[in-house]
Amino acid sequence: MSHPRRRSRPAALLLPALLVLTACGGGSSSTEEDTGTSAAAQEQPFPVTVTGDDGELTLEQQPESIVSMSATATEMLFAIGAGPQVEAVDSTSNYPEDAPITDLSAFTPNAEAVAAYQPDLVVLSDDMNGIVDALDALSVPTLLLNGAATLDDSYEQLETLGAATGHADDAAKVIQDMQDRIAAAVDSAASAAAGLSVYHELDPTYYSASSSTFIGGIYELFGLENIADEAPGAETGYPQLSAEYVVGAAPDLIVLADTVCCDQTAEALAQRPAFDTVPAVQEGRVLAASDDVASRWGPRVADFAESVAEILNG
C-alpha cells in the first residue's frame, strides 16, 4: 500500500455534506474489458497531488486497490478505465454490473471494514460518521468528492479521479463525450422546450428538486421553468410539494425519478386525482426515468439529457 503524505485541510474545503440521493435501481452492464491499466495510465508520472473536499492528497504510486464508497464515483471510475483497479464498492454501487459490490455501507461506514480490503485509495461522496478521520487514523488514503451541485463539479470530479488513478487522458475523453452529447441533446430540443415547465418527482410524497440542485441545473440547460423554484422550502434544494401544488402549477413535463424505488409509472401518475388535467399527462410528456440515472452526477447524465430531449421532441 502506498501511504499518503500528510493531508492539509483548508477551511474553505470543510463544507457541509450535500444531500445525496442514492437510488436503488440497476442498469445495463458495462462494455469495458478487464484489460488492466491503459497506456495513458502507464505513462502518467507519480506521485500526484489531487484536491478533494477533505483537502489535498498526495499519492506516491498509482493506486492498485481502490475502494469506492460512492455509487457515482464507482460509475466514474469504471467509465475512465480504472475499473480493473477497483477492489470493492459499497452496497449501493449497482452500476456497472461487473463492479465488485460488497455489503460495505456508505450510510453507516465502518473504517475497519473498509481497511480490511487493504486499499491504497478510498473514494467517498460523504463524510458519514467521521469516516474520513477514521480512515486517516488507519493511514488509508481517502478522497472525498461531495455531491455535485453543477455539471462543472461533475467534470472536475472526473478530472480529479483521472489524475488520482492514472487515467487523466481517459477522463478527459469521457468529459468531452459528456459535453458533446449534452450540448447536442439541448440543441435538438431548443424549440420544443421553449416556454415549458417541469416537475421532477423524487418520491410519491412529492419531494422535488429545484434549480439550485444538480438535476435542476440540467433542466435549466433546456430552458425549462422548474415549478419547485417558487415552492415553500425551495431554498433547501429539495422542497416537498403537494398534489394540489403540482396540479395547480400545470407542468408541461413531468420526470418520475421514483420508478424503481416506488413503482411509479406514467399510467399510475395519470390515475392520481386531477392529474388527468395536467398538460404533461394530457400531451404525453411524462418521462419515467431510472432512479439511479436521475440521481447520480456521473457520465450517465448524458443519457438523462438525451432522454429529456427525446420526450420533449415527442
Give me the domain span that covers residue 238. 189-313
pLDDT confidence of residue 39: 47
Residue 182 lies in a domain: no
d(Cα 149, Cα 231) in Å, to the nearest integer? 20
If pLDDT is split at 50, 70 and 90, which confidence band does 44 have?
A: low
Rounded average pLDDT over 12-31:
35
> How far apart, in whole angstroms, are the C-alpha atoms of residue 123 and residue 198?
33
Vertex 295, ends 74 and 197: CA angle to 5°?
150
Same domain, yes or no: 162 and 18: yes
Average pLDDT over residues 21-26: 37
Does 38 score more than 90 pLDDT?
no
Q: What is the pLDDT of residues 60-115, one digit of tens each?
A: 999 999 999 999 999 999 999 999 999 999 999 999 999 999 999 999 999 999 99
Say yes or no to pLDDT of 19 above 70.
Answer: no
The torsion angles phi and psi of 223, rounded to 5 degrees, stand at: 80, 20
Identify the three-state secondary structure at position 286: strand
Residue 211 lies in a domain: yes
pLDDT over 90 (residue 129): yes
Q: Which among 247, 200, 207 is positioned nearest to 224, based on CA atoms?
A: 200
Same domain, 47 and 148: yes
Over residues 97-108, the pLDDT tens digits come to 999 999 999 999
For residue 8, pLDDT over 90 is answered with: no
Note whether residue 172 is domain-resident: no
Q: Do 158 and 195 belong to one domain?
A: no
Domain at 194, CATH number: 3.40.50.1980
Residue 10: what pLDDT? 33
Tell me the average pLDDT across 16-41.
39
Number of domains in the chain: 2
* pTM confidence score: 0.86
Same domain, 124 and 215: no
Look at residue 45 in the predicted model and tell me its pLDDT.
82
Claim to verify: residue 209 and residue 307 sit in the same structural domain: yes
- Given a cut of 90, is residue 41 above it in pLDDT? no
Residue 4 forms part of a structural domain: no
Instruction: Check whether 40 has a pLDDT greater than 70.
Output: no
Q: pLDDT, tens digit, for every residue of 236-286?
A: 999 999 999 999 999 999 999 999 999 999 999 999 999 999 999 999 999
Residue 173 falls within a domain, yes or no? no
Report how far residue 79's alpha carbon sits from residue 175's, in angstroms, rounded to the nearest whole number: 10
- Kindly report the average pLDDT of the chain as a whole number: 89
Is residue 48 located within the same domain as residue 108?
Answer: yes
279-296 per-residue burial string, b: 16 or more CB within 10 A, e: under 16: ebbeeebbbbbbbbbbbb
- The tens digit of pLDDT for each residue in 179-231 reads 999 999 999 999 999 999 999 999 999 999 999 999 999 999 999 999 999 99
Residue 213, in any domain of the structure = yes
**Nearest residue to 37 via CA among 162, 172, 178:** 162
**What band does 20 get if pLDDT is binned at 50, 70 and 90?**
very low
Q: Is 169 helix (H, G, I), strand (E, B) or coil?
A: helix
Domain boundary among 106, 135, 166: 166
**Higher-scoring residue by pLDDT: 24, 148:** 148
Taking CA atoms, 243 is separated from 198, 204, 240, in Å, by: 14, 9, 10
CB neighbour class for 101 (10 Å; exposed up to 12, middle 13-18, buried from 19)? middle
What are the phi and psi torsion angles at 276 (to 5°)?
A: -70, -5
Alpha helices in the chain (DSSP H): 39-43, 71-79, 111-115, 131-137, 151-165, 168-188, 190-193, 214-221, 243-249, 266-270, 279-282, 291-295, 301-313
106 and 27 in one domain? yes
